[in-house]
Amino acid sequence: MKKQEKTNVMRILDQKKIPYESYTYDSTEAISGMEVATVLGQNPKQVFKTLVTVGASKRNYVFVVPVCGELNLKKAAKAVGEKSIEMIKSKELLPLTGYIHGGCSPIGMKKFFTTTIDASANDCDTIIFSGGKIGYQVEVSLEDLRKVISFELQDICD
């Protein structure tokens, strides 16, 4: 484990006085969400990944899904009222969100995008997601997450 430093996500949570647990793991490159769950010794149903998409309308959307699941693009499009959606290209992620692939968090993006979290999150007391930097994760309850960002819960996974 590396020395704990604060990410922007953690600073935002601190600022809003939101309790959270933080985790770090040694990696300088993006690893799969399942690998993150394994490294942290956490249930993959509780560890979530943040995906950024673009709809047919050219609007961007954020979807937060368990690392053990796959985003269903048809369900996701329906959830946000789009005809279709697709993942944005990796090179578009940083200029759009301020985050790089593997370190994207639903908290602290350059601007807020409509965010949908898979309904399976309701089955967890807390969810774990990127702390905004590769190697950093934060664990927060949905109730507390609502104090920081607004989101809908929908069935968006296969």
Give the dihedral sign, CA 34/37/41/46: negative
State yes or no: pLDDT of 3 exceeds 70: no
State yes or no: pLDDT of 154 exceeds 80: yes
Structure confidence at residue 2 (pLDDT): 46
| pTM, 2 dp | 0.94
Over residues 22-40, mean pLDDT = 86
> How many whole angstroms separate alpha carbon 26 and alpha carbon 30?
11
Work out the pLDDT band at 28, boundaries 50, 70, 90.
Answer: low
The string of pLDDT tens digits covering residues 49-87 is: 999 999 999 999 999 999 999 999 999 999 999 999 999
Work out the pLDDT band at 30, boundaries 50, 70, 90.
Answer: low
The string of pLDDT tens digits covering residues 97-150 is: 999 999 999 999 999 999 999 999 999 999 999 999 999 999 999 999 999 999
Does domain 8-154 correspond to CATH entry 3.90.960.10?
Answer: yes
Structure confidence at residue 26 (pLDDT): 85
Work out the pLDDT band at 4, boundaries 50, 70, 90.
Answer: low
Give the dihedral sign, CA 115/120/125/130: negative
